[in-house]
Amino acid sequence: MPIRDRLARAVADALVLLPAVRDAGAFVVPEDVHLERPARREHGDWSTNAALVLAKRVGLNPRALGAELAAALTAQSVDHVVGVEVAGPGFVNFRLDVGWLHEALGEVLEAGEDGYARPDVGHGERVQVEFISANPTGPIHVGNGWWGSYGDALARVLARSGYQVSREYYVNDTGGQIRRLGASLLARRNGTEVPEDGYRGEYVTELARAYDGPDDVTTAGRFAAERILERIKATLASVGIVFDEWYSQASIEESGAVDETIAALAAKGLVFEQDGATWFRASELGDTRDRVLRKSNGDATYLAGDLAYHRDKFLVRGFDRVIDVFGADHHGQVASLVAGVEALGVDPSRLEVKLGQMVSLVDGDETVKMGKRAGTAVALDTLVADIGPDATRLLSLMSSLDQATTFDLATAREQSMENPVFYVQYASARIAAIGRKAAERGIVRRPREEVDLAVLVHGRELELIRTLEVLPEVVAEAAVDRAPTKVTTWVRRLAGCFHGFYHDCPVLADDVDPRLAQARLWLVEGTRIGLAIGLSLLGISAPESM
């Protein structure tokens, strides 16, 4: 049983022994006991706020109740606990011997890469994560790739945390943007000026050379969109992003789902006609104003298609939860989308919208912001060719999605410890190098049950184990908070701990006691397991050499 669970049971059992708690009937079960690691190591290894939570119910000062709880815990003689004390307003802190860390390492090794750090916080909930969904009107640029790394890493974290996850890309393959793309292509082919609201990138010229169809903007636009989409798929695959579903907007419109959705809203009295257009009474459901669903010319708006799409997600395909990852330019659409989902009879809390902020690239003295129509966007595959897929992903997962990011290419190109990608992956390479060196010297790691991990007492060793031990909680928090950057932070911390261990705790040196060498080999294996899990969640490789 993990130490957290044993301490929680000990706290619950100790509370039963306190007269004030018994008299108030304020009993708790182990699952209700909150335990955390103090922010400062000198305050102990674990802490509980049970006394603060129960003090009012039992009619005692929190610190007084904490003192009674500490005394009862001390009398219990809990495994590995060498001291219990009250701190602050009533926190009860535990000091443990290092044996609990040796047990924690044993748990990592027993569970292995497939079983360790699999917190079941999702309980089988079916979640769809829709991300990127960039219009197929140009190559995927760095901004889309940044948000794509987030969506894919989030999906990986959720899947490891007990959710059933589906990754989806919504292909906006119809409407005005496709006609503008077609008009841009025809202008390039015919040597005329690209429309003011058209697309000007070099890729349009390349597509124009390949197009031999009629001078029809829709036909030309769909021709271009199909080929751009194939390029998008290849680019995303190069950074490890693969979707379960590529969902066509055109299929939504052609199936009649938009008309059905508008009819469903009308049946609830939430649709009205004005100036020849069909409107949604979104203001009655929290939006700032009412929204057009169908224009006076008969064309459905983006919102109408989006509501039909989300109706399909929730009411047809039956997802329990939908997480949409949009760019910041979609901010104004969130309220109307949420209002529409609620109007369709879906609890709006089941829809989560995450907005990605602006990404800029700095290369020397030049700063480039993304913009497809202006032709200034840096294509994601250009960046990948420059710094590699792993660097692209890790650097994009170092900051929160909701923070504007400026990305320095010079740092990403460095092959040194100053480069965070190199720093993390070098830990993986060092682990593999230890294995190769052991094999060259004929040193075999003995079976786990024959090796005494208790000889691991060096500060570097213990800090490395502490970092491994916290991974299940990091994964759980990353899933609950929708924050895969928490895994990035942990991976960097683990790499730093391992580099310190590697420097100060030789594994195969001639003067290392064989028993200690064996224990350290197992610690290296535990680190490999943790690092492999963390990097996999981020979609980054664990290289065996650099």
CATH for the stretch 3-97: 3.30.1360.70
Beta strands in 113-203, from DSSP E residues, in sequence order: 126-130, 164-171
Q: Whose CA is closest to 519, among 469, 470, 471, 464?
A: 464
Residue type for position 386 = D
Longest dimension (CA), the chain: 91
Label the pairing between strands 126-130 and 321-327: parallel
Whose tokens are 């989560």? That residue is 352
d(CA 399, CA 483): 10
Give the pTM: 0.92
d(CA 244, CA 188): 35
- CB-based contacts of 384, cutoff 8 Å, min separation 6: 235, 238, 239, 392
Q: Whose CA is closest to 203, among 219, 215, 183, 185?
A: 185
Q: Whose CA is closest to 114, among 495, 529, 538, 473?
A: 529
Looking at CATH, the fold of the domain delimited by 420-538 is given as: Isoleucyl-tRNA Synthetase; Domain 1 (1.10.730)
Residue 166 has a pLDDT of 98
Is the Cβ–Cβ distance between 325 and 128 less than 8 Å?
Answer: no
Is the Cβ–Cβ distance between 491 and 478 less than 8 Å?
Answer: no
**Is the C-alpha dihedral spanning 292, 298, 301, 303 positive or negative?**
positive
**Segments making up each domain of the chain, as ranges:** 3-97, 131-254+357-412, 420-538
Identify the three-state secondary structure at position 33: coil
pLDDT by residue for the chain (546 residues), tens only, comes to: 789 999 999 999 999 999 999 989 888 999 999 999 998 888 999 999 999 999 999 999 999 999 999 999 999 888 999 999 999 999 999 999 999 999 999 999 999 999 999 999 999 999 999 999 988 998 888 888 888 999 999 999 999 999 999 999 999 888 888 999 999 999 999 999 999 999 988 899 999 999 999 999 999 999 999 999 999 999 999 999 999 999 998 898 889 999 999 999 999 999 999 999 999 999 999 899 999 999 999 888 989 999 999 999 999 999 999 999 998 878 888 999 999 999 999 999 999 999 988 777 777 666 555 444 444 568 899 889 999 999 999 988 998 888 887 777 877 787 777 789 999 999 999 999 999 999 999 999 999 999 999 999 999 999 999 999 999 999 999 999 999 999 999 999 999 999 999 999 999 999 999 999 999 999 999 999 999 999 999 999 999 998
Residue 73 token pair? 């815990």
Looking at CATH, the fold of the domain delimited by 131-254+357-412 is given as: Rossmann fold (3.40.50)
d(CA 193, CA 269): 47
Is the Cβ–Cβ distance between 137 and 228 less than 8 Å?
Answer: yes
Is the Cβ–Cβ distance between 426 and 275 less than 8 Å?
Answer: no
- CB-based contacts of 80, cutoff 8 Å, min separation 6: 3, 96, 97, 99, 100, 103
Residue 475 has a pLDDT of 98
Q: What is the 3-state secondary structure (H, E, C) of 43-55?
A: HCCEEECHHHHHH
Cα separation values, 406 from 144, 171, 369, Å:
14, 28, 9
Where do the H-state alpha helices sit in 239-324?
Answer: 249-254, 257-266, 302-311
Where do the H-state alpha helices sit in 17-160?
Answer: 19-24, 50-58, 62-76, 99-115, 142-160
Residue 141: beta bridge partners?
379
Phi and psi at 98, nearest 5°, equal -75, -5
d(CA 306, CA 520): 55
- CB-based contacts of 121, cutoff 8 Å, min separation 6: 161, 162, 476, 479, 480
Chain centre to alpha carbon of residue 413 = 25
Residue type for position 433 = A
